[in-house]
Amino acid sequence: MTRYLAGRVVAGLVSLFLFVTAIFFAARWLIPRRREPGDLSATDEYFELLDGLVSGDFLNSEAMASLPWTLLILTFALGIAFPLGHWLGKVAGWKSGSAGSAGLTIGAVVMYTIFPPLLVFVLIMVVSRFTNDQGIGFLRTLYNEGGLSPDTGWSMLRTIAVVAAAAGLVALAASRLDKAIPHPVWIVGLVGIPFLIWMRRGMWGEVSDILLYLAMPITAVSILVVGEVLLVSKSTTAEAAHEDFVFTARAKGVPDREVRDHHVARYAFLPMLSKLMVSIPFILVGLMIVEMAFAWPKFGVEGGGNLGTLGMTVPGMSSTLFTSLENRDAATVVEGLIAVGVVVLTFRLILEVIQAFLDPRIRVGSREP
């Protein structure tokens, strides 16, 4: 198990190195700029970048300052969409072929393939019904009053990470002791404990401002992700429903619902996890497109320089990335892309750890490569 995980970390680092190298030279080639006498040569700049990555100076870069917002949206959206999509997919896959299942599938395909700016437009239209057709500009006052500080964002992420890790340990202990913790307890614990911590630390005002401000992007990304998780969960559940152990369980007289939840859903969870591992980067792209669509880039009042009352700025990764792209600032573009790569790699490793804990074939090391 330790060896497997160490191998995955090393493979990830090798990929990251290749990725950084390719990105650096591609960006220099794609974003040409005038050379000035004091400039470093390409190789010197490259080694400086690697040095910054190894020594941790990278953490102080501009790209990292915009990271908490993107990560918060991603974490909350995955936290909402993953359980919801898994549950809906389980229901749809179990009754595969029924009208309800077909309806859920169509809905999921729509949610998964909708053009993100269109989804954002529809969401803004819906919210606008309650704001007298004035869009969601009112949210910007939160932003302008300085309610969003990156430090608070990082602190929220740390709390979530600690609570999630603790939940993982509790789950592990529970499975060793052969005790099942009911789902409602999980949900209340995972949602309630972070909020309790934030309240006790006196962060509630800032946290609620941030959550209100990010609520729309989180909703949009959740909708995109729910569709995908639902489709994957549905197909793995429908396939698992034909396995022999399902017939055995039924023959023993296990209630239908229990067969679905305890036999099929658990079995179908692993292939779902490995399929979703590949789609994390694509979820991140969808998220960045949503971020940009909310700002309605370039569509402000001409010359006025503001965004009008249509949208709002999401100060996430995409704004850093595309602002630097417009300014032909190759160094920041590279930093932003590396940040994307690191996020993808981190999520992949987290999923791999979960997979290794859940799948005994990985734990004993006999899994196919």
Partner 1 sequence: MSIEVTAAQSGVRAHRKARAAAWGRFRASVPGMTGVVVLLMFALMALAYPLLMNTVWDANVYDPETGIDMVVVEKRYVREVVDPETEVGRVEAFVSDMYAQPGDVVTVRTPAGIGVAHPLSTDASGRDVLAMLLAGAGPALAMALTAALTTAFVALAVAAVSAYYGGWIDATLSSISGAVLLLPAPLLMIILGTSPAGEHIGPAQFGFIYGLLAGAGAAAIVVRSQAVTTMRRPFIDTARSSGAGSTRIIVRHLVPHLIPLAAVAMLIGVTGAIVADAFVSFLAYGENRFSWGTMINTAIRGRPNLRTLIHTEWHVLIVGGVAISLLAASFYLVAIGLHAAFDTPRFKR
Does position 340 interact with partner 1 (CB under 8 A)? The reply is: yes
Please give the distance of CA 287 from its chain centroid, rounded to a whole number: 8
Show Cβ contacts of residue 265 under 8 Å, excluding neighbours closer than 6 positions. Answer: 86, 90, 237
Does position 368 interact with partner 1 (CB under 8 A)? The reply is: yes
Q: Which of the stretches 61-69, 144-152, 210-218, 317-325 binds partner 1 when contact is defined by CB under 8 A?
A: 317-325
Q: 68 or 227, CB closer to partner 1?
A: 227
Does position 126 interact with partner 1 (CB under 8 A)? The reply is: no
Q: Which of the stretches 78-86, 155-163, 165-173, 338-346 binds partner 1 when contact is defined by CB under 8 A?
A: 338-346
Q: Which of 53, 65, 80, 109 binds partner 1 (CB under 8 A)?
A: 109
Q: Nearest approach, Cβ of 59 to partner 1 (angstroms)?
A: 18
Q: 22 or 172, CB closer to partner 1?
A: 22
Q: What is the dihedral of CA 354, 360, 363, 368, to 10 degrees?
A: -100
DSSP 178: T
Rounded Cα–Cα distance for residues 260 and 195 (Å): 32
Burial of 279 (0-12, 13-18, 19+ CB in 10 A): middle
Q: What is the dihedral of CA 162, 164, 169, 170, to 10 degrees?
A: 120
Q: Nearest approach, Cβ of 278 to partner 1 (angstroms)?
A: 5
Q: Which of the stretches 13-21, 76-84, 157-165, 188-196 binds partner 1 when contact is defined by CB under 8 A?
A: 13-21
Q: Which of the stretches 68-76, 166-174, 293-301, 351-359 binds partner 1 when contact is defined by CB under 8 A?
A: 293-301
Does position 1 interact with partner 1 (CB under 8 A)? The reply is: no
Structure tokens at 16: 């990251």
Burial of 350 (0-12, 13-18, 19+ CB in 10 A): middle
Rounded Cα–Cα distance for residues 311 and 220 (Å): 14
Does position 22 interact with partner 1 (CB under 8 A)? The reply is: yes
Segment 215 to 274, residues that bind partner 1, using CB under 8 A: 231, 235, 239, 242-243
Q: Which of 42, 59, 166, 285 binds partner 1 (CB under 8 A)?
A: 285
Rounded Cα–Cα distance for residues 137 and 206 (Å): 19
Rounded Cα–Cα distance for residues 35 and 29 (Å): 13
Q: 163 or 268, CB closer to partner 1?
A: 268
DSSP-assigned letters across all residues of 208-229: HHHHHHHHHHHHHHHHHHHHHH
Q: Are 82 and 225 within 8 A, CB to CB?
A: yes
3-state secondary structure of 289: helix
Does position 104 interact with partner 1 (CB under 8 A)? The reply is: no
Q: Among 80, 89, 93, which Cα is nearest to 228's?
A: 89
Does position 110 interact with partner 1 (CB under 8 A)? The reply is: yes
Terminal Cα-to-Cα distance of the chain (whole angstroms) = 14
Q: Nearest approach, Cβ of 55 to partner 1 (angstroms)?
A: 21
Does position 284 interact with partner 1 (CB under 8 A)? The reply is: yes
Q: 20 or 81, CB closer to partner 1?
A: 20
Q: Are 207 and 152 within 8 A, CB to CB?
A: yes
Q: Are 149 and 206 within 8 A, CB to CB?
A: yes
Q: Among 281, 332, 343, 280, which Cα is nearest to 24's?
A: 332
Q: 116 or 153, CB closer to partner 1?
A: 116
Q: How many residues bind partner 1 (CB under 8 A)?
A: 65
Q: Which of the stretches 44-52, 201-209, 252-260, 291-299 binds partner 1 when contact is defined by CB under 8 A?
A: 291-299
Q: 118 or 165, CB closer to partner 1?
A: 118
Q: Nearest approach, Cβ of 29 to partner 1 (angstroms)?
A: 9
Q: Are 279 and 112 within 8 A, CB to CB?
A: no
Q: Which of 50, 79, 87, 128 binds partner 1 (CB under 8 A)?
A: 128
Q: Which residues bind partner 1 (CB under 8 A)?
A: 11-12, 14-16, 18-19, 22-23, 30-32, 102, 105, 109-110, 112-118, 121, 124-125, 128, 133-135, 231, 235, 239, 242-243, 278-279, 281-282, 284-286, 288-289, 292, 296-299, 301-302, 308-310, 321-322, 325, 333, 337, 340-341, 344-345, 368-369
